[in-house]
Each structure stands twice: as C-alpha cells, then as structure tokens.
C-alpha cells in the first residue's frame, strides 16, 4: 500500500527518510548485532545515542549551558503536575488559558497551590490569543504558564506575554522545533514529541539550572518527577524511552539537514500560506482563527454544515488524505501540517478542497 498524507494532530507524520533509516537499523544498529530497542541504556553504544541527541538539540535551539535538557517518559500531560511540583515554591502561579491543554494544566496545578487565570480566550472558543502586554500578575507568583501553540484551536503566541519579571513556562508540544526560539526568554520549555519530533512516549524538558538548584517545591514530589534528580542523572536515573529518544535524535539530524530552525520556519510558512491563502478566498471553507494568531502547525476550518463536513472528511480519506476530522469542540476539519508534512501534501489537500468546493459549493 502506498503511503498516505497524514494530517493527524498527533501522533503525527514523521520524515520518511528517518523512518527508512530506522527500518534499515532495526535488526542491527551500526554493527552492534542488536536493535536499539534491545540494548541497555547503560551501554556505551546507547550512551552515544542519547548524548548525540542532546548535542544536536542544543545546537538546533542554541540552548545556553545554564539550561538542562531532560528526556523523559510520558506525554506532556505529566508536566501539568510536574511544573507546579517543581516550581510552585510560593504556592501561586499565573496561567493564560488559550485552549484545552492550558485549561487542563491549570486544573492540575490547582491541586498544589493557587492558580490565577490572568487572561483567557474562552469567550470566543479559543479562536484568538488574548492581549498579554499588561497582565495583572501577582508579585509573588512563581511563574507564568502558557501553551504556546494550541493544537485543537489552531492559535499561536507570535509575541510572548509580558511576564513582568516572572519566569515563563511554555508547553510547546505542537510547535516544537518548527521555528527559531530564544530559549533565554523562558524559565522552562517542555513538550511531548509526538507531533513534530518523534514517536509518542517521550517528553523533553528544557529548564534553567537555577530553578532546580534547591530541588522541587514539595518534599513529597516523587523521585521520577523531580527535575533536579533527572538532570543530575543526565536523563538516565532509570531506563528512559530509549527507542523513542533514538528516533528523536534522527529527526534532529534531519532538521539540521533541512537548514536548521530557520530552514524549518521557511518550509512551514510556505506550507501554511498555501492553505491559508485558499481558505481566505474560498466561498465554501472558512478558517476559524483570527488571522493574526494563526498557527503554522494546526489549521482548523469548517464549511458551516456538519453533514458537508462529514462528507468532506470521508471523501478526503478515500483520496489518501487522512485524519482531517476536527476536534469535537471546534467541529469541521483540522489539517495538522507539522515539520515532516511535505509541501506536496498541502498542495494535494488544497487541490482536493477546490474540487470539493466545485462539486458541493
């Protein structure tokens, strides 16, 4: 069977080149006589794999030496608890609610301290990013939290909030490595990798050293959720998700070959422009996000007719365009066009949309 164009929001499309490399090395990684799936995380061979992965990630993001990189098990949801457990030393934090994941993160943080919701776009179904230039942030807040790119609703912080001197914590799961980033503007950057970087089951935490120097905010923080311990053990306190990290390392090298994060941004902007330009002139399809806050990664759109939306999704699937059904809270369709989605995939989608409009408009 030929490969389809996979517009899934996650787990998502991976570079075909990376998948082929993994397949070639499945039974014998570089003459070791075994798969990476089988080898000890304490072995010299695997130690080189995880060290190379961190090195390449640091180079891609220009991560300063005073930031720790931690490869972890679990999805980003685990960080909803780990963030307050490690950082909420004053028992208070500010959250900006721009979608389902920020909302869930805030609810989890409320188990550990006071959560101040300093801005929200819930009033318009999270279709925009609120003005965050002059937020009323409590002086004693330990951090300000955002979900930088909203997978479900298709919005993106193109300007970071004015945190007024407080640490910024960002969940970047669905925009990770999609464009250049100034790491020094954040106290913590974290994300699940299953959208832009690798297979589900790995999360990456990038945290400034001084924030974890004294250990977590709560003495009862489980050892496995203690960033200080994880960092001190170079992500090898216990068996990490070895194969997933290996695949991430392959993707890091692929991104470097694609021109690094500048090259990735240009690639993603080109893809997004093709789709947004079509939506802006279409008489049948309509984007759901305020244009200024549109994501390069996730593009929700609707016809305004549920039956027509369902017909579109069904016929698109038959045409080899998979996973275009939108999230239930938005309806319609959603095209996730992450790093590994080729331009040809977006062009084929737009051609299909134009034909569908001609036949159904």
Catalytic residue among 56, 92, 101, 293: 101
Is 195 among the residues known to form the active site? yes
Catalytic residue among 56, 68, 142, 171: 171
Task: Specify whether the backbone of 91 is left (phi greater than 0), alpha (psi in -120 to 50) or beta.
Answer: left
Is 111 among the residues known to form the active site? no
259-264: long-range contacts, CB 8 A cutoff, minimum separation 24:
260/60, 261/60, 261/61, 261/177, 261/178, 261/179, 261/180, 261/181, 262/180, 264/177, 264/178, 264/179, 264/339
Q: How many CB atoms lie within 10 A of CB 7?
A: 25
Catalytic residue among 68, 92, 156, 195: 195
d(CA 49, CA 17): 18
Is 234 among the residues known to form the active site? no
Q: Which residues are catalytic?
A: 101, 171, 195
């Amino acid at each position: 069977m030929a490969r389809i164009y996979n517009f899934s929001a996650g787990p998502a499309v991976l570079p075909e080149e990376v998948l082929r490399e993994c397949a070639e090395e499945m039974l014998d990684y570089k003459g070791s006589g075994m798969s990476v799936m089988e080898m000890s995380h304490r072995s010299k061979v695997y130690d080189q794999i995880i060290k190379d992965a961190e090195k390449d990630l640091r180079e891609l993001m220009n991560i300063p030496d005073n930031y720790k990189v931690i490869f972890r098990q679990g999805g980003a949801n685990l960080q909803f608890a780990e963030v307050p457990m490690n950082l909420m030393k004053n028992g208070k934090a500010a959250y900006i609610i721009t979608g389902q994941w920020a909302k869930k993160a805030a609810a989890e943080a409320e188990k550990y301290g006071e959560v101040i919701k300093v801005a929200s776009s819930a009033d318009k179904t999270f279709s925009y990013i609120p003005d965050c230039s002059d937020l009323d942030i409590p002086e004693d807040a330990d951090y300000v939290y955002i979900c930088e790119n909203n997978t479900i609703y298709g919005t993106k912080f193109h300007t970071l909030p004015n945190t007024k001197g407080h640490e910024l914590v960002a969940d970047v799961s669905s925009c990770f490595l999609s464009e250049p980033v100034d790491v020094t503007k954040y106290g913590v950057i974290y994300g699940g990798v299953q959208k832009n970087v690798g297979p589900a089951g790995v999360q990456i935490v990038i945290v400034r050293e001084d924030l974890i120097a004294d250990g977590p905010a709560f003495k009862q923080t489980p050892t496995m959720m203690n960033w200080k311990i994880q960092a001190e053990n170079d992500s090898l306190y216990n068996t990490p998700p070895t194969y997933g990290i290996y695949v991430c390392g392959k993707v890091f090298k692929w991104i470097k070959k694609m021109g690094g994060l500048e090259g990735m941004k240009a690639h993603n902007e080109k893809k997004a422009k093709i789709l947004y330009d079509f939506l802006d002139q279409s008489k049948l399809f309509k984007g759901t996000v305020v244009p200024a806050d549109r994501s390069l990664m996730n593009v929700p759109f609707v016809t305004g007719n549920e039956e027509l939306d369902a017909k579109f999704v069904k016929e698109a699937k038959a045409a080899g365009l998979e996973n275009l059904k939108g999230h239930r809270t938005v309806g319609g369709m959603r095209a996730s066009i992450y790093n590994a989605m080729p331009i040809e995939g977006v062009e084929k989608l737009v051609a299909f949309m134009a034909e569908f409009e001609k036949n159904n408009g």
